[in-house]
Amino acid sequence: MSTPAAVPTSSQNTAEEFQFLADFIPQLVWITDPTGFHTYFNQRWVDYTGYTLADSVGPDMWNNLLHPDDRARARQIWGHSLATGDAYEIEYRFKGRDGQYRWFLGQALPRRNEAGAITTWFGTCTDIHDQKLAADRLAERESEFTTLADNVAQLSWMARPDGHIYWYNKRWYDYTGTDLAAMEGWGWDKVHHPDHRASVVEFVRAAWQKGEPWELTFPLRRHDGEYRWFLTRAVPVRDEQGQLLRWLGTNTDVTEMRHLQEQLQNAYNDLEVKVTFRNLELEHEVQRLRKQLAS
């Protein structure tokens, strides 16, 4: 008579399901006791680190795999979580079996019993290396853009498709003596000359709706109250489908140029008057000579 096969218990099923899930998900999974002593790692941990499970358990082994520059910070944050029960979260560089470091997001949450005492910490390490490098490259480009924008001679700004200005460069703030809170949106009209404000606002509102490059010259108030003339140019930035994404604008100080143009115009006017009078004098002289000849 055959012996019936043993039926797995509920706890066996649960353990097998947990093991399957822990090995299936893309994160490195780990468990510690309330003191931070590691008692479990999933297969992905073994595959990534090259450490066996026997070599991996312990209170401090994981810290040896961290980049030297990240160890003290990680130890401090993990120690805070162990002491307070607060959720654990940190970005650090973790060494793989090939000796190379990759960026991971480490996270852990405590499991408590009915009395509220921590019985276990469940943690994961998620590979964010590619996203981290992309974010760093983006941050570097943004830093380079900001450095460039803050050092050009013009006052510069960016606006949404509807004309809501959301960014100015440092030269704008240095010139106007304002900040973004005062200038955001349509706040820029505060530094326009009262005699020109209405016409400028009317022109700009129409320009936003057309979605085409535009330029206009008007005075802007400096932080000391003096008004200087600026040539403002704005160009639309569009995506591949032609959708308007934002506006890029610059304000170029043309005060000295206007003064020079006025001086040239005045000099031309003076010269024109002098030429006119000289022509009259010559005409009178011709008429006088004609009379002398006639007599």
Give the count of domains, the chain: 2
Give yes or no: residues 185 and 239 share one domain.
yes
Give yes or no: residues 23 and 129 share one domain.
yes
Q: Which residue has the higher pLDDT, 259 or 100?
A: 100
Give yes or no: residues 197 and 245 share one domain.
yes
Least confident of 6-20, 90-104, 231-245, 272-286: 6-20
For residues 19 and 42, give the distance between their C-alpha atoms in angstroms, rounded to a whole number.
8
Q: Which residue has the higher pLDDT, 291 or 190?
A: 190
57: nearest Cα among 37, 36, 28, 35:
37
Give yes or no: residues 189 and 228 share one domain.
yes
pLDDT in tens, 198-252: 999 999 999 999 999 999 999 999 999 999 999 999 999 998 888 999 999 999 9
The answer to whether position 292 is within a domain reads: no
Q: How many CB atoms lie within 10 A of CB 15?
A: 12
Task: Provide CB contacts within 8 A for 183, sequence distance 6+.
Answer: 165, 168, 172, 176, 190, 191
The answer to whether position 179 is within a domain reads: yes
Give yes or no: residues 77 and 32 share one domain.
yes
Is 269 a residue whose pLDDT tops 70?
Answer: no
60-98 per-residue burial string, b: 16 or more CB within 10 A, e: under 16: eebeebbeeebeeebeebbeebbeebeebebebbbbeee
- DSSP H or E segment with residue 136: helix 129-151
Q: Last residue of some domain: 78, 105, 133?
A: 133
The most distant pair of C-alpha atoms in the chain lies apart, rounded to whole Å, by: 163
Is 195 a residue whose pLDDT tops 70?
Answer: yes
Q: Which domain, by its residues, includes 18?
A: 12-133
The answer to whether position 68 is within a domain reads: yes
Is 83 a residue whose pLDDT tops 50?
Answer: yes
Residue 59 is predicted with a pLDDT of: 62
Give yes or no: residues 244 and 161 share one domain.
yes
Residue 256 is predicted with a pLDDT of: 84
119: nearest Cα among 26, 14, 53, 32:
32
pLDDT in tens, 119-154: 999 999 999 999 998 888 877 777 777 777 777 778
Residue 182 is predicted with a pLDDT of: 93
The answer to whether position 99 is within a domain reads: yes
3-class secondary structure, 76: helix
Give yes or no: residues 75 and 120 share one domain.
yes
CATH number at 53 reads 3.30.450.20
Residue 136 is predicted with a pLDDT of: 84
Q: Which residue has the higher pLDDT, 16 or 159?
A: 159
Q: Which residue has the higher pLDDT, 6 or 265?
A: 265
Is 3 a residue whose pLDDT tops 50?
Answer: no
Q: Last residue of some domain: 104, 133, 162?
A: 133
For residues 260 and 229, give the distance between their C-alpha atoms in angstroms, rounded to a whole number.
13
Residue 62 is predicted with a pLDDT of: 74
For residue 153, what is the DSSP state? S
The answer to whether position 145 is within a domain reads: no
Least confident of 24-28, 39-43, 174-178: 24-28
Task: Provide CB contacts within 8 A for 80, sequence distance 6+.
Answer: 86
Give yes or no: residues 115 and 168 share one domain.
no
Residue 24 is predicted with a pLDDT of: 64
176-199 per-residue burial string, b: 16 or more CB within 10 A, e: under 16: bebeeeebeeeebeebbeeebeee
The answer to whether position 221 is within a domain reads: yes
Mean local confidence (pLDDT), 44-66: 80
The answer to whether position 30 is within a domain reads: yes
Q: Which residue has the higher pLDDT, 167 or 259?
A: 167
Give yes or no: residues 79 and 179 share one domain.
no
Token pair belonging to 238: 């569009």
Q: What is the mean pLDDT of the chain?
A: 84
Token pair belonging to 105: 């997001």
Give yes or no: residues 164 and 88 share one domain.
no
Task: Provide CB contacts within 8 A for 221, sequence distance 6+.
Answer: 176, 191, 192, 193, 227
Token pair belonging to 273: 């008057």
For residues 156 and 249, give the distance between their C-alpha atoms in angstroms, rounded to a whole number.
6
123: nearest Cα among 36, 11, 14, 63:
36
The answer to whether position 282 is within a domain reads: no
Residue 266 is predicted with a pLDDT of: 62
Give yes or no: residues 240 and 194 share one domain.
yes
Query: Percent of the chain scored above 70 by pLDDT?
Result: 82
- pLDDT grade for 54, boundaries at 50, 70 and 90: confident
Which own/partner contact pairs does 152-155 have at CB distance under 8 Å and 24+ positions apart?
152/250, 153/252, 153/253, 154/250, 154/251, 154/252, 155/220, 155/230, 155/250, 155/251
Give yes or no: residues 69 and 182 share one domain.
no
For residue 11, what is the DSSP state? H
Task: Provide CB contacts within 8 A for 125, sequence distance 6+.
Answer: 27, 28, 30, 45, 94, 104, 105, 106
